[in-house]
Structure 1
Amino acid sequence: MMRDEYLVECNIDDDDEDDYDEDYDVKKIQPSPPPPPQFSSTPSLAHVEIRDPCGVNKHLKVEFSDVLAEPESTHSYDRVWVYSGIAFESTRLWVYRCLTALCAVPLSCLCGCLFALLACMHIWCVMPCIQVCHTCLPCVRSLWMSVVNIFITPFCTSVARCCSGIYVMVSKE
């Protein structure tokens, strides 16, 4: 008998009337959906717009209202508030663009070199050391077990036999 956890529910749609053309009595061909962007031969512009797909920099989404706010009791002129918001947003945008124009390419090269160095060290130094340890550990383990069986086990057995004759009696006086 098969348990319920192995059973799968399949919905069967017997409603095929919509797929037939009444005039020709031929089934219409449904267009296939486009392939995912990673399998598409033409680069899509939507893929370029997603620059933080993993949400690494969610904490940097700062707006004017996150930084500056006026309480109800104190308000400046409406035009001053609006122009301050415009100045904040445009200054933040243009200073970021200027800094990235100056620093993005050199820092990208530096980060690329750093990650290449880390990958090289991991591939050519760290993993071979780990593999050597994994290879040598069975030999070290058998040597350690021999030392334990030769020296420590007889000592512990002797102490246990000496202490096995000791009885402790608890009495109320």
Structure 2
Amino acid sequence: MMSDEYLVECNIDDDDDDDDPEDEEGMRLYLAPHPPPPPQFSSSSLSVTPEPSLQHFDTRDPYGVNKHLKVEFSDVLAEPVSTHTYDRVWVYSSIGFESARIWSYRCLTVLCAVPVSLLSGCLFALLACLHIWCVMPCIQVCHTCLPCLRSLWMSVVNIFITPFCESISRCYTGIFLALSKDIKT
């Protein structure tokens, strides 16, 4: 079964009007209409507070976040060619599956959608507040203090750790290991 995302809408105008311009050989030139500008560039998007409209609710998943949730009857239940039930049983099963899926989803969203969206909004507001007022200032403090701390750490390493490691390495440079295999017969 082909999904709807591969279907292309073709608008064909069969009118024989001679309104279309022609080139020098008499061939018709078909001018494509200009698409509307993106919403961020249109003059209506320059208002301070956008008004919610029903057009915003037509596309509820514009970025395809939940593509994996497109479940149909044939995705869940399928009969092989060798075994088939009665056609009416298959049709009524499909109707029952789709009806139960749709109405269960609708009932659950009536009960859960508003509270879950309120909790999600509060959670994301809390995360944004923490990020803006706690995380980013801490990162900026670290970036500001890091050069001082780096020079202090380099001094500690050069004064204490480097001489200690060099003296240990010089002690062990005089040791030679010779491995031999004793064969006893």
TM-score, normalised to structure 1, is 0.67
Deviations 1:21-55 (A, max 9, x none): xxxxxxxxx97542224444398866532211222
Q: How many residues align?
A: 146
- The letter for the 2-side match of 1:68 is L
C-alpha RMSD over aligned residues: 3.4
Change (3 A) 1:34 1:44: farther
Q: Does 1:51 align with 2:53?
A: no
Equivalent position SS for 1:50: coil
1:71 to 51, 67, 80: 80
Percent of aligned positions that are identical: 77
Query: Residues 71-150 of structure 1 correspond to what in structure 2 (within 5 A)?
Result: 71-150=80-159
The gaps in structure 1 that reach 5 residues or longer are 1-16, 21-29
Equivalent position SS for 1:118: helix
The gaps in structure 2 that reach 5 residues or longer are 1-20, 25-31, 46-51, 179-185
- The letter for the 2-side match of 1:124 is W
1:12 is matched with: none
Q: How much does 1:157 deviate?
A: 5.3
Q: How much does 1:159 deviate?
A: 6.0
Q: How much does 1:131 deviate?
A: 1.5
Q: Does 1:34 align with 2:43?
A: no
- The letter for the 1-side match of 2:92 is Y
Equivalent position SS for 1:127: helix
Q: How much does 1:68 deviate?
A: 0.9
Higher helix share: 1
How far apart are the structure 1 equivalents of 2:175 and 2:78?
79
Equivalent position SS for 1:133: helix
TM-score, normalised to structure 2, is 0.63
- The letter for the 2-side match of 1:48 is F
- The letter for the 1-side match of 2:37 is P
